[in-house]
Amino acid sequence: MRQINNEGLELIKSFEGLRLSAYKDSVGIWTIGYGHCRGVCENTPDITPAQAQALLLLDLQDCQTEVETLVKVGLNDNQFAALVSLVFNVGLSPLLKTLGRLLNKGDYNGVAEQFLKWNHAGGVALNGLTRRRQAERQLFLTLA
């Protein structure tokens, strides 16, 4: 299985931030570590930085597989990493909608612009998501 490169991993970590105690994210989902939410609740015990890293790498496995499965065109390492970051943050919707259709037609510039449209949470455009989408777009456009 193809894996996210270090640039993509660091991008995700920088935007997710490291929280060793469970907290509610911007849309009210219990989260811990670097954006891990599966099985997390208010009473989830604190974790270590090493556990947070392990949870992130585990969570990214599904995202990497989904990108590999749904993308039918070649991707450089940065393009792959940017897409994995996007899927990790918002789910499969971008790959199942316009972004994915443009990508599989080979319209890489069109895809880059689509990143910027995925900056909403709970129906509201968020500055943090806008910055993240800009960073993912920039990574996507960077030759690897």
Q: Which residue segments constitute the domains of the chain, with CATH numbers given?
A: 6-141 (1.10.530.40)
Percent share of the chain, pLDDT over 90: 94
Q: Is 16 a catalytic residue?
A: yes
Task: Quick: pLDDT tens for 8-51.
Answer: 999 999 999 999 999 998 789 999 999 999 999 999 999 999 99
The one catalytic residue in 16, 42, 113, 136 is 16
Tokens at residue 120, please? 């909403």
Whole-number pLDDT of residue 122: 82
Task: Quick: pLDDT tens for 77-90.
Answer: 999 999 999 999 99
Taking alpha carbons only, the member of 143, 92, 140 closest to residue 115 is 140
- This prediction has a pTM of 0.94
Q: Which of 16-20, 64-68, 120-124, 135-139 has the lowest mean pLDDT?
A: 120-124
Whole-number pLDDT of residue 111: 97
Q: Is the pLDDT of residue 75 over 80?
A: yes
Helix or strand (DSSP H, E) at 124 = strand 124-125
How much is the mean pLDDT over the chain?
96
Contacts of residue 23, defined as CB under 8 A and 6 or more positions apart, other chains included, come to 30, 31, 32
